[in-house]
Amino acid sequence: MVVGDFPIETDTIVVGAGPGGYVAAIRAAQLGQKVTIIEKANLGGVCLNVGCIPSKALITAGHRIEHAKHSEDMGITVDNVKVDFTKVQEWKAGVVNKLTGGVEGLLKGNKVDIVKGEAYFVDQNTLRVMDENSAQTYTFKNVIIATGSRPVEIPGFKFSERVINSTGALALKEIPKKLVVIGGGYIGTELGTAYANFGTEVTIVEAADDILAGFEKQMTSIVKRELKKKGNVTVHTKAMAKGVEETKDGVKVTFEVGGKEETVEADYVLVTVGRRPNTDELGLEQLGIEMTDRGLIKIDKQCRTNVNNVYAIGDIVEGPPLAHKASYEAKIAAEAISGEPSEIDYLGIPAVCFTDPELASVGYTEAQAKEDGIEIKAAKFPFAANGRALSLNSTDGFLKLITRKEDGVIIGAQIAGSGASDIISELSLAIESGMTAEDVALTIHAHPTLGEITMEAAEVALGTPIHML
């Protein structure tokens, strides 16, 4: 301890101010704890600053261009669609600033102390926060670690000006003429689609058998069909990225597919092959925290580690790296510290991908239910039979409801189609509440809306569909 470094005492410290950390801090403060939150970068974490929010802003801008260029069916023709990408980026930054400013206001409004700097654990009740100029010791009764994750760098593709990760892709100053995407997961496919809508020629290189591996093939086939229709997207599956040569104006990417080596030139190569938990520079070894082989922190049903007063949430624990999962775990941890019997239950946690069209899934898929020996009924309803989808000129896709055969309880749902990201919430609620297909079918849904598709699928499950033979 340096001279004059008198420890500051607090009840609960939260390390990291992303969608897990700031939510944990606010909920802990609401429950009467004296809370300090530590963040080395920007409030809001990856999600608000260089992830979920700015990417969706870019995706939305891309959709506006796509709609402007392709609305001939409605009798609308627009000549010379122009994009001022500087203004697009300014608008995107404005969206981010509003939200991060809002987070700061919420933390201060809940009397949470905000500290800038990097945290390093000394023992299970002490940590030090360091910035460029000073160091300060803090003591605490409980701590919630919410440090998130960072993009994985792969051999032969060291990040640089032309070899970029998702953060770099969101900060480009110009629309690239050509872009290679290594990794066809949700991040790569979302950003690849966004730039394709801006007019970029996109090549996706995916090592697995298919893109968007977390979703059913019935769903991903619709996305692949839409990508093909764009005319400026090429998808290579079972393809292994080999290396990149940076040139003055761009990159040459080499990959192997079908036993042959291929090279493609582009302005940039975007590497999106996964994320790595930020657990390696915190001094966790000082605490004796139990970790997995992947560097994730082991937790119990209340997000508590093997060290009784240390909790962990978000991307640094098992499960999908989703912002809403982190926020959910945040509340569990804060409530557990306050002595409440809150526990994790992941059954109703949705996964969403903002592709064209959107994909969303919650609970069991058909395959997962069969693996677990559950007798199910799968009921599908097409977007093409929905009035609102027709009026939006967005008829591709379906909603599939997974119900338990014995009692009709909804245990899963998958959606591919316009507005899937919003529709899925009703089905998450249905699963969390133990609702049956009959409960949903008897709920009056406003007409004409995409939400009616949920009701229609429930009627299919009951064997009494109105708008489908």
Give the annotated binding-site residues for FAD: 56, 147-149, 315
**Which homologous superfamily is 163-273 in?**
FAD/NAD(P)-binding domain (3.50.50.60)
- Residues 165 and 275 sit within 8 Å (Cβ to Cβ): no
Give the annotated binding-site residues: 56, 147-149, 183-190, 206, 274, 315
- Residues 270 and 153 sit within 8 Å (Cβ to Cβ): no
Class of domain 357-462: alpha beta
Q: Which of 121, 252, 129 is nearest to 180 (CA)?
A: 252
Count CB neighbours of 31 within 10 A: 16
CATH number for the domain formed by residue range(s) 8-150+276-337: 3.50.50.60
Which residue among 324, 445, 447, 467 is the active-site one?
A: 447
Q: For the chain, how far is it from start to end, CA to CA, in angstroms?
A: 75
Q: Which of 461, 347, 356 is nearest to 419 (CA)?
A: 356
What are the strands, taking DSSP E only, across 159-232? 163-164, 178-182, 201-205
Q: Are strands 251-257 and 239-246 parallel, antiparallel or unpaired?
A: antiparallel
- Residues 66 and 57 sit within 8 Å (Cβ to Cβ): no
In the chain, where are the structural domains located? 8-150+276-337, 163-273, 357-462
Render pLDDT for 310-321 as a digit per residue (tens, 0 to 9).
Answer: 999 999 999 999
Give the annotated binding-site residues for NAD(+): 183-190, 206, 274
- Residues 126 and 287 sit within 8 Å (Cβ to Cβ): no
Three-class HEC string of 414-448: EEECCCHHHHHHHHHHHHHCCCEHHHHHCCCCCCC
What are the strands, taking DSSP E only, across 146-280? 149-151, 163-164, 178-182, 201-205, 233-236, 239-246, 251-257, 260-266, 268-271, 275-277
**List of the chain residues with pLDDT < 70:** 1-5
User: What are the CA-CA distances from residue 159 to residues 168, 199, 270, 340 (Å)?
Assistant: 9, 24, 9, 44
Tokens read off for 369: 């239910």
Distance of CA 86 to the CA centre of its chain: 25
Q: Residue 350: beta bridge partners?
A: none
Q: Which of 414, 398, 408 is nearest to 377 (CA)?
A: 408
Render pLDDT for 177-188 as a digit per residue (tens, 0 to 9).
Answer: 999 999 999 999
Give this prediction's pTM: 0.95
pLDDT given for residue 3 in this prediction? 43
447 in active site? yes
Q: Do domains 163-273 and 357-462 have the same CATH topology?
A: no
pLDDT given for residue 1 in this prediction? 43
pLDDT given for residue 347 in this prediction? 85
